[in-house]
Amino acid sequence: MPQPQDHRDRARLIPPSLADPSPPEVTERSAAVPPAADETDRFLLTQLLEQGRSTNRDLAQAAGISESAVSIRLKKLMSAGSLVFTALVDWEVAGFEWFAIARIRTGNRTPREVASSIAELDECEAVAVVVGACDVLAYFLLRDRAEVHRLIAERLSAIDGISDLALDLATESFVTPLGRQFFIARNVPAIRLPAPRIEIDDLDVALMQSLITDGRQSSRAIARLHDVAEGTVRSRLSRLDKAGLCRVTAMVEPLSLGYAGVIAHVTLTVRRNAYVAVRQALDSLPGLVFVASTSGQAGLSISLAAPSQQHVLDLVATQLRAIDGVDRAETLIMVDVVRFSPYLKRL
């Protein structure tokens, strides 16, 4: 059963109940956009990914079609779960001090069973069954050292079936623009705000909840919903955005639209004197969605989106391992995503 709310959390936001447009298994798909999404759809998606608050009028003028045609196309994409208007919350500004990555080998239970148990943990933001040197990959957001200790000593140790565990703590993390555009939602947990770095009150929380639920609704509609002045809504949302806590965005489901066939996690063992050069070299890597500097032997952990498993393997073999300073690259390909939250990211 999910654990009770930690009384120390300043607030929690509840993600909307979303239909899952793609099956739970992440399998290889064609990199081409399905016929249901034509070139005009792709143009609209590109415009929205660049500016999520674009109005239908803005989009119609840019695409050279009518506002009603824009509305119909967006509704089609949204009903299919391929396009989502929401808000992202910066996990660091929200009050989390640690991001942890667990690579797990399973024993007397199947990887899926172990992953399902991990998904029930309050701290878990994502967990997937993977193919590679281990069986399960999990991501955790932790408020402080006490939560780190509790995760290792109590939460994970209590889960039957974990035979081996490697836990990397991220000292720095970065989500690329591509990563902020991708929306993958599986068994999404509540969005914790343990200790925001700016003062927020109940109205701020309510406004953030409105944006999480529907990031495309107008300030006027939000003002009516909460019985406050539209100017108050605008000023509050502007403050949250400038503080880096909450930002409205448009996101696409990369698997159903064909923008990605697989998601892979790669752990890089990097020579310490080459760390800066390796980190800079990663910026030009195609499909890069996430980078974390980690404690321990590895040094860097990255996530990649690619058209196919073979594309990932070729990318690792020909580009990643060719970077001077990379001694080893361990690739894990997600084949069954059990939990994944798209809402908490570094902005």
Amino acid identity of 219?
S
Angstrom distance (rounded) from CA 51 to CA 215 = 12
Q: Are 161 and 113 in contact (CB under 8 A)?
A: yes
pLDDT tens per residue across span 74-101: 988 888 888 888 999 999 999 999 999 9
- The count of other CB atoms within 10 Å of the CB of residue 257 is 25
Angstrom distance (rounded) from CA 330 to CA 269 = 8
> pLDDT higher for 258 or 124?
124
The total number of residues written for the chain in this structure: 347
The percent of residues above 90 in pLDDT, for the chain, comes to 65
CATH 1.10.10.10 fits 199-242, yes or no: yes
Does residue 30 carry a pLDDT above 60?
no
Sequence-ordered list of residues with C-beta below 8 angstroms from that of 275, at least 6 positions apart, any chain: 293, 299, 300, 325
- The count of other CB atoms within 10 Å of the CB of residue 329 is 20
Return the residue matching tokens 């000593």: 153
Does residue 2 carry a pLDDT above 50?
no
The percent of residues above 70 in pLDDT, for the chain, comes to 90
Q: What is the pLDDT of residue 265?
A: 96
The DSSP 8-state label assigned to residue 33 in this structure reads: P
Nearest Cα neighbor of 246 from 233, 259, 260, 255 is: 233
Query: Once rounded to an integer, what is the mean pLDDT over residues 160-174?
Result: 93
pLDDT tens per residue across span 185-240: 899 999 999 999 999 999 999 999 999 999 988 999 999 999 999 999 999 999 99
Does residue 323 carry a pLDDT above 80?
yes
What is the average pLDDT value for the chain, to the nearest integer?
88
- Domain range annotation of the chain: 199-242
Q: Model pTM?
A: 0.86
Q: What is the pLDDT of residue 36?
A: 57
Strand partners, 137: 103, 128
Q: What is the pLDDT of residue 26?
A: 42
Q: What is the pLDDT of residue 255?
A: 73
Dihedral angle at the C-alpha atoms of 73, 77, 79, 80, nearest 10 degrees?
140
- What's the token pair of residue 148? 């780190």
Q: Do β-strands 344-345 and 83-90 pair in parallel, antiparallel, or remain unpaired?
A: parallel
- The count of other CB atoms within 10 Å of the CB of residue 150 is 14
Mean pLDDT check: name the lowest of 120-129, 196-205, 308-317. 308-317
Amino acid identity of 66?
S
Does residue 105 carry a pLDDT above 50?
yes
Angstrom distance (rounded) from CA 75 to CA 90 = 28
